[in-house]
Amino acid sequence: MPEGPSIVILKEEVQRFKGKKILKAQGTGPINIGSLINRKVVDLKTWGKHLLICLPQTTLQIHLLLFGKYSIDEPRNGKPRLLLQFSNGTLYFYACSVREIREDLDQVYDWTTDLMNPAWDAAAARKKLRAVPGALICDALLDQSIFAGAGNIFKNEVLYRTRVHPLSLVGAIPARKRAEIVQQMHRYAFEFLAWKKANVLKKHWQAHTKKVCPRCDIPFHKAYLGKTKRRTFYCESCQVHYR
């Protein structure tokens, strides 16, 4: 469910509620549910893995985390974390984090960090990478303050495409190669979006969950690497270890 492109799809699916008034709201958690009634959805945005439901004066931030689910019109089993009913349908969110943001969104979010946003700034990402030479690249690619919206699939696929070993030190990777990684992160975000929409995302995985390197045919390594200790699939032979 949750990487940035999937949240963009979610935003597109809920567009019909933009401009609509909340007729009924239910939920658990820190939100004052009663205060939502009769307020209008003035905009729908995303930043990284966050869906932002903009109301006058305030914004609801939905993060689906690892297991979050949503549905439109058809409730699922269990109690929704948030339910919003409009004249033209009902939106349900389950097992997600729901927060309220009262500050101006432009103060809270740096839109240039979001891979999916037109404001995405590759040069800024390169600069942030330059600033963390001691980090492992497998951790840096999951850093939401550098690549908002990227997740574990991005990490595995982009490191494989660019032939970079996940344990490479950011500072040891040549600047040109780092630039290529940044560019591929952005490119993969939009390929992910297109493939997910066409229901063929998994078919295009070259490394993630794979057992054998499609390039040289030797077995992939699977390990839980970096500070993030996330599942990593890589080829010791094809991916260069910069250290």
Provide the 8-state DSSP code for 32. Answer: -
Is 22 or 141 the residue whose CB approaches DNA more closely? 141
Retrieve residue 123's tokens: 């040069």
3-state DSSP percent of the chain in helix, strand and coil, to 5: 30, 25, 45
Per CB under 7 A, does 152 bind DNA?
A: yes
Per CB under 7 A, does 230 bind DNA?
A: yes
Per CB under 7 A, does 48 bind DNA?
A: yes
In the complex, the smallest distance separating the C-beta of residue 99 from DNA, rounded to whole angstroms, is 8
Q: Measured in whole angstroms, how far is the alpha carbon of residue 27 from the centre of its chain?
A: 24
Of residues 58, 112, 206, 228, which one binds DNA by CB under 7 A? 228
Query: What angle, 0 to 180 degrees and rounded to 10, lies between the N-to-C axes of helices 175-197 and 152-161?
Result: 120
Which residue's entry shows tokens 């004249």? 87
Of residues 127, 130, 227, 243, which one binds DNA by CB under 7 A? 227
Q: How far apart are CA 89 and CA 73, in angstroms?
A: 6
Retrieve residue 164's tokens: 């970079």
Positions 105 through 134 that interact with DNA (CB under 7 A): none
Q: If binding means CB under 7 A, how many residues of this protein chain bind DNA?
A: 29
In the complex, the smallest distance separating the C-beta of residue 88 from DNA, rounded to whole angstroms, is 25
Is 94 or 234 the residue whose CB approaches DNA more closely? 94
